[in-house]
Structure 1
Amino acid sequence: MASAWRRVADAYQRIVDNGDKRTDPWPLVYSPIPVTVIFLVYLCGIWVGPHLMKHRKPVDLRVFLIIYNFAMVGLSAYMFYEFLVTSWLSSYSLLCQPVDYSTSPLALRMARVCWWFFFSKVIELSDTVFFILRKKNNQVTFLHVYHHATMIFNWWAGVKYVAGGQSFFIGLVNTFVHIVMYSYYGLAAIGPHMQKYLWWKKYLTSLQLLQFLLFLLHTGHNLFTECDYPDSMNVVVFGYCVTLIILFSNFYYQSYLSKKK
């Protein structure tokens, strides 16, 4: 038993000691414990929340959701700008870009936007809370929970070990998709009379699928070429994208193709 605990302690020490020294002092980065606690609280909330709301009326969050969703549009736009401009000024390559671990202004600027991208994934866990408070439990699907819960770990690892380099491509594309996505949610929150302007939901799902396909091709290319970027990260992203393509394709089929039949 003691040896097992020793191995766990050694593994934990390796995790915290081998990170990017620039990002280690930043909130939630140094140790995996804070993000794990957030994950466990999130799962508990998903289990407890519907029971607490069972005999209560749905909470009216309309005004709050309008503000929240358009604030997320603003945050996504800021991150998209930072990813785009910083990678451009740093002459990043789309095909192979090692991480710059220096403390140069541009390297730190890229690391900072990677942190904001990670933190935005923590904020986005609120999406699930809002569904539960509004008693929209049918929206809390396996796809929804899996995507939200796993992204915080993926991007914690990204900021902890590879804050920059190839990581920028995922942040750049995903923030663009989230500008579109939260714009849709913000408009939908205004009221039912907006539905006639929201005919493009199917295309939003298509856009989400397209981004995962781009990530798959991007990381797949780097797995089979020489590039000074950790293959372990590419393998994780590649496998993760496969799962998301399967889940989102199923969602697309169930939502748009199956209903037509």
Structure 2
Amino acid sequence: MSTDEDIQYREIYATWTLPQTLTAAGVVCVLYLLTVVKFLPNYMKDKKPYSLKTVILLYNVVQVVLSAYNFYLFVVHTFQYGVFPSKCWNDMNQPMVNSILEPIMWYFIAKHLDLLDTIFFVLRKKFNQVTFLHVYHHFIMVAWGWIYYTYFPTDIYVFLAMLNCFVHVIMYTYYALASLGPKYAKYIWWKKYLTTLQLTQFLLIILYLLYHNKTSPCPTSRLLHWYGVSSIAVFFVLFINFYIRSYFRKKIAKDNK
């Protein structure tokens, strides 16, 4: 980033206060919940589902490109500074901090863009896909993003975001192919491995957070640390449950026929 951009990013952090951050995060999260749980379902009650085929295809392509770009930025930073930060940062002018502000910002924006997943489900009347797991996952990621981006935008979370971006490249590639219709089904035979990939991601993130908290010269606060670990642990349990219901139970039912 240029010097002017560095100053701009630093000024953002200097102007946010805790009440402002919590208010902004609260507004976004509450509006999301009200929109996908109440407002949009009521609006769609007597309407036919929208197709949105072209819109969804373009959306998925944008997600793939954005996730790939973020992944690239995080990889570049990781090669330069390492997976495990060896130094504490206490000055926003440090090169390490300035180099990570842009990718964290784009990652933060991407978490808000992800909320459109649910809106598209509702507009297409795919209410079976608006599950607790789906809504909780998007809700927590936005809330988490607000807290960490505003108060702890360091490279401690680069590895986590890098993993997540990689998974999103694979995931939205699948969604893009699936949106093209049945004739492309033969290209997405690997669907069931997506959940395995996500579970592996969550497990690696939990292990990373626990290891970092024990070995880092500048660990995060206990509150932020355990908030992160517990959130990812809940994701892991919910995705395990989804995997069992989606694949093992269906396989058992099929074998018993």
**TM-score, normalisation: structure 2:** 0.87
Percent identity between matched residues is: 36
Tell me the residue number matched to 2:68: 77
> Are positions 1:68 and 2:59 aligned together?
yes
Q: Does 1:115 align with 2:100?
A: no
* Match of residue 47 from structure 2: 56
SS in structure 2 at match of 1:197: helix
CA distance in 1, matches of 2:55, 2:15: 29
1:130-185 CA deviation, whole Å, 9 max, x = no partner?
A: 00000000000000000001111111111111112211111110000000001000
Residue equivalent to 2:21: 31
Q: CA-atom RMSD, angstroms?
A: 2.2
Cross-structure match for 1:187: 177
- Residue number among 113, 116, 122 corresponding to 1:126 in the alignment: 116
1:210 aligns with 2:190: no
One of 93, 101, 112 as aligned partner of 1:103: 93
TM (norm. structure 1) is: 0.85
Alignment partner of 2:161: what SS?
helix
Provide the residue aligned with 1:175 in structure 2: 165
Q: Indicate if the aligned counterparts of 1:216 and 1:238 stay in contact, CA closer than 8 A.
A: yes
- Unaligned ranges ≥5, structure 1: 1-19
- For residues 237 and 85 of structure 2, the distance between their equivalents in structure 1, rounded to whole angstroms, comes to 25
Amino acid at match of 1:195: A
Separation in structure 2 between the aligned mates of residue 99 and residue 93 of structure 1, nearest angstrom: 15
Kindly indicate whether the alpha-carbon contact (under 8 Å) linking 1:187 and 1:194 is maintained by their aligned counterparts in 2: yes
The alignment status of 1:150 with 2:140, answered yes or no, reads yes
Equivalent residue for 1:249?
240
Distance 1:53 1:22 in 2: 42
**Secondary structure, counterpart of 1:196 in structure 2:** helix
Query: How far off is 1:202 after superposition?
Result: 0.9
Structure 2 Cα separation of the partners of residues 129 and 206 of structure 1: 25
Q: In the alignment, residue 242 of structure 2 is paired with which amino acid?
A: F
1:255–1:97 distance in 2 versus 1, CA, 3 Å = farther
State how far apart, in whole Å, the 2-side matches of 1:116 and 1:26 are: 19
Q: 1:174 to 1:45 in 2, by over 3 A?
A: same
Give the match's secondary structure for 1:31.
helix
Pair 1:63–1:104, CA change in 2 (3 A) = same
Q: C-alpha displacement at 1:34, in angstroms?
A: 2.1
- Note closer, same or farther for the CA distance 1:184–1:28 as it changes in structure 2 (3 Å cut): farther
2:149 corresponds to which residue?
Answer: 159
**Structure 1 letter corresponding to 2:246:** S
**In the comparison of the two structures, how many residue pairs are matched?**
241
Measured in 2, the distance between the counterparts of 1:114 and 1:66 equals 25
Residue type of the partner of 1:236? Answer: Y
| Counterparts in 2 of 1:226 and 1:163: CA distance versus 1, 3 Å | closer
Q: Is the Cα contact below 8 Å between 1:122 and 1:152 reproduced in 2?
A: yes
SS in 2 for 1:24: helix
Q: What's the offset of the Cα at 1:108?
A: 1.6
Per the alignment, residue 186 of structure 2 pairs with 196
| Structure 2 Cα separation of the partners of residues 106 and 227 of structure 1 | 16
Task: Determine which structure has the larger helix proportion and give its number.
Answer: 2
Equivalent runs, 1:229-240 vs 2, <5 Å: 229-232=219-222, 233-240=224-231
Q: Are residues 205 and 105 of structure 1, via their aligned partners in 2, closer, same or farther at CA, if it must alter by over 3 Å?
A: same
